[in-house]
Amino acid sequence: MAVVTELIREEANGTLSFGNYTLDAKAKVEDFKHGGDLYKVKTFSTMTKLERNGLFLYESVPGTSVNNFIEDDKGVSFMVESNQDAQLTIGMEEDTEYSVFVGGKSMGVLKSNPSGKINISVELADAGEVEVLIRR
């Protein structure tokens, strides 16, 4: 898949795609309406960040492109792409255990910190897209 040139978009299946890791300068879109919520995305080569209604949802260092991001009461799933390995921080419920799968392989059970964040590393260099699944 390619980068999200419009920075954030709603897919036909109701998921979100966002981020453009090829940009040399920061770019952002604010007040993107989706599912009754307002999203804000900031992205460029060194960072991609997504907020929903002013609250943290996703961040990657360096920047990434994320496709088919969907969140439900059991967790999140998405496809992530970059030309470099990335550190992802995902906003979840605080102090909750989640099973984490990257590229179809289990990374075990991770517990979110008191602010509800989970950190994972994803090998993306020369990998194309990699699926990330985080479930209660």
Q: Are 100 and 127 in contact (CB under 8 A)?
A: no
Alpha-carbon distance 89 to 76, whole Å? Answer: 12
Residue 21 has pLDDT above 70, yes or no: yes
pLDDT at 1: 56
Alpha-carbon distance 31 to 52, whole Å? Answer: 9
Average pLDDT, the chain: 95
Q: What percent of the chain has pLDDT over 70?
A: 99
Alpha-carbon distance 24 to 3, whole Å? Answer: 14
Mean pLDDT throughout 63-90?
A: 96
pLDDT in tens, 89-128: 999 999 999 999 999 999 999 999 999 999 999 999 888 8
pLDDT at 110: 96
Range 8-135 has CATH code 1.20.1070: no
User: In degrees rounded to 5, what are phi and psi of residue 94?
Assistant: -70, 145
